Amino acid sequence: MNIKIVCVGKLKEKYLKQGISEYAKRLTKFCKFEIIEVPDEKAPEKLSSAEMEGVKTKEGIRIIDKLKDKEYVYALAIEGQERSSEEFAQELANLATYGHSDLAFVIGGSLGLSKAVMQRSNAQISFGRFTLPHQLMRMVLTEQIYRGFMINAGSPYHK
């Protein structure tokens, strides 16, 4: 299985880099895993609705450019469907069983994802209604992907 996370912006915090690196290393026994960063669009603090859409559109073009046609794409969005870790693990197993061995997870910038990215996605996933820093979300997502594989392997890691 090939899994990638496409995200907007650079990861700056050392502790997050270390955490993601640890889970990425653990994932190597289950899949090919990579994180692709696309540049964020520089924007002033106060934006009109039209300017916000413009920023999301530009970032969305960069994201879509990194997605392949054959990939099953998850968009991370507050309005997406919440899943338990067990439900997510089952979903990963089902996707692999039914020929979706290339997965991409998309984390947008601070303004969210463009309409085009949402339309390109096969599913939207939410980790709850909390607002989390996008950089922290990378680590949470990477850990949950690892947890999903561990659940499917029958490992006690999940307990």
DSSP string, 31-51: -EEEEEEEPPPP--SS--HHH
Residue 156: inside a domain: no
Domain total of the chain: 1
Orientation angle between helical segments 85-97 and 134-152, nearest 10 degrees: 70
Residue 159 pLDDT > 90: no
Whole-number Å distance between alpha carbons of 9 and 114: 15
Residue 102 in 3-state DSSP?
strand
CATH number, position 21:
3.40.1280.10
Residue 157: inside a domain: no
Residue 158: inside a domain: no
DSSP lists the bridge partners of residue 112 as: 109
Q: What is the residue-averaged pLDDT of the chain?
A: 95
* 76 appears as a binding residue in the annotation: yes
Model confidence at 130, pLDDT cuts 50, 70, 90, reads confident
Residue 46: inside a domain: no
pLDDT score of 40: 94
pTM confidence score: 0.95
- Domain that includes residue 74, residue range: 2-41+51-151
Residue 83: inside a domain: yes
pLDDT score of 31: 97
pLDDT > 70: percent of the chain: 100
Model confidence at 86, pLDDT cuts 50, 70, 90, reads very high
Residue 11: inside a domain: yes
Whole-number Å distance between alpha carbons of 14 and 20: 10
* 109 appears as a binding residue in the annotation: no
| Tens of pLDDT, residues 54-85 | 999 999 999 999 999 999 999 999 999 999 99
Give the chain's count of helices (H) and strands (E). Answer: 5, 5
Residue 65: inside a domain: yes
